[in-house]
Amino acid sequence: MPRAFLIILDSFGIGGAADAAQYGDAGADTLGHIAEACAAGAGDRAGLRSGPLRLPNLDGLGLGAAAAASSGGRPPGLAAAPGRGRWGFGIERSKGKDTPSGHWELAGVPVPFDWGYFPQTVPAFPPDLVAALVERTGIPGILGDCHASGTEIIERLGEAHLATGRPILYTSADSVLQIAAHETRFGLERLYQVCQAARTLCDPLNIGRVIARPFTGERRGAFARTANRRDFAVPPPEPTLLDRAQAAGRGVTAIGKVSDIFAGSGVTRKVKAGPNAEVFAATLAAAAEAPDGDLVVSNLVDFDMLFGHRRDVPGYAAALEAFDRDLPDLEARLRPGDLALITADHGCDPTWRGTDHTREQVPILAFGPGLGPAALGGRGFADVGETLAAHLGLAPGRHGRAMW
């Protein structure tokens, strides 16, 4: 019985979204702009990387061809010729450009509703929500109460947090409430409890996620977020590929933040992993150990969290090149009949204005022993989930169709 691997490079867009202008993102192109910056020398950083973007293994699967088909232009350093894998690009149907929508739709379930968002005002959060959170959790109040970059607001308000014991609450263009607090001085479990209370309070507002953002350090300039982030998400509106696989008696391994994004639904084994290197190592371990018929879903978050949101072109480029170098190790562990599919959930163009996600199309790169090359064209995100479902012998879902 074959196995399936879904590898999500968080925020790795390839431009070309027809509705990007509706989101203020007309022209955004995460891969294309990184490649252009590297070709011009703007992707160089001493001790990290230099020169043109080098992704020979991804390009060999058809990344350059997928990017050219999606955006109409070939990224510098990549080939426009078809690769040895099956390649195409994904078009999101769900509204917004957030993480849950992208992941759920990739797993076969587009989001049929509008998320709730907090306004770009100060304060950003409804006073009654803040008052209820204070009353339910016993916190002495909050700091922040605005739209902000996570690293910036922790740097700015971290010392005040330590002095007052008040957690830092902030949001972004996503449907999200983020809560930052010191991992030891405030307490990690206490932070999770506050986030769980906030999750309940956010439900009537249709907010997609509440995210715990623990950090360490004792003074400005020394604060650092830890790997103990946790997402408190609403569950998908109907059974996803993960639920369908679990219901059929298959093992479903969720690596990184995948289980949190799906609110644990359909997951039979949760593997905690933080940085990309840990996620990839856990994916390799799953490829070596997972029984026949299993589904493995991995999210590599560094592309988004460390480099996209922070508008760090050299960092993003170096992370892509590191993943590319490691990719043959995964290919070598695939068994006959296995299918691996690399894609993304949205864009986060590090050359774009602001610090938020960008509305883009995403690569679809499929490979495995004996899988011949083919051009897939532009496909709905849900087609990814249905392709994996068909490969695993599961009944088809309602929203997409298998790509072959």
- Least Cα distance to 327 among 293, 372, 276 occurs for 276
Average pLDDT over residues 312-335: 98
Which percentage of the chain shows pLDDT scores above 70?
100
Cα distance between residue 192 and residue 293, in whole Å: 34
- In angstroms, the CA 172 to CA 309 distance is 11
Q: Residue 30: which residues within 8 A CB-CB, separation 6 or more?
A: 11, 12, 13, 14, 15, 308, 316, 347, 348, 349, 350, 358, 360
Report pLDDT digits (tens) over 274-307.
Answer: 999 999 999 999 999 999 999 999 999 999 999 9
Closest CA to 97 of 385, 379, 357, 383: 357
pLDDT tens-digit map of 106-121: 999 999 889 999 999 9
Contacts of residue 50, Cβ cutoff 8 Å, sequence gap at least 6: 43, 44
Rounded to the nearest 10 degrees, what angle do helices 30-39 and 63-71 cross at? 110
Positions of E strands within 112-167: 143-147
Would you place residue 308 in the very low, low, confident or very high pLDDT band (cuts 50, 70, 90)?
very high
Alpha-helix residue ranges (DSSP H) falling in 213-296 = 241-247, 258-261, 276-289
- Confidence bin at 80 (pLDDT 50/70/90): confident
Sheet of 362-367: strand order equals 269-271, 252-255, 295-300, 4-9, 339-343, 362-367, 86-91, 374-380
Tens of pLDDT, residues 258-278: 999 999 999 999 999 999 999
User: In the Cβ-directed half-sphere of 273, how many Cα atoms lie within 13 Å?
Assistant: 26
Model-level pTM?
Answer: 0.94
Q: Do the beta carbons of residue 324 and residue 58 sit within 8 Å? A: yes
Residue 327 confidence (pLDDT) above 90? yes
**pLDDT (tens digit per residue) in 176-229:** 999 999 999 999 999 999 999 999 999 999 999 999 999 999 999 999 999 899
Asked if 314 and 48 count as a contact pair (C-beta separation under 8 A), the reply is yes
Q: Report CA-CA distances (Å) from 211 to 72, 191, 234.
A: 36, 10, 12
Is 90 exceeded by the pLDDT of residue 173?
no
> Which tokens is 225 given?
């977020």
Closest to 274 (Cα-Cα) out of 318, 214, 309, 227 = 227
Band of the pLDDT at 348, cuts 50, 70, 90?
very high
pLDDT at 303: 98
**Count of residues making up the chain:** 404
Question: What's residue 1's pLDDT?
Answer: 85
Query: Which percentage of the chain shows pLDDT scores above 90?
Result: 96
> How far is Cα 71 from Cα 215, in angstroms, rounded to an integer?
38
Residue 124 has pLDDT above 90, yes or no: yes
pLDDT at 251 over 90: yes
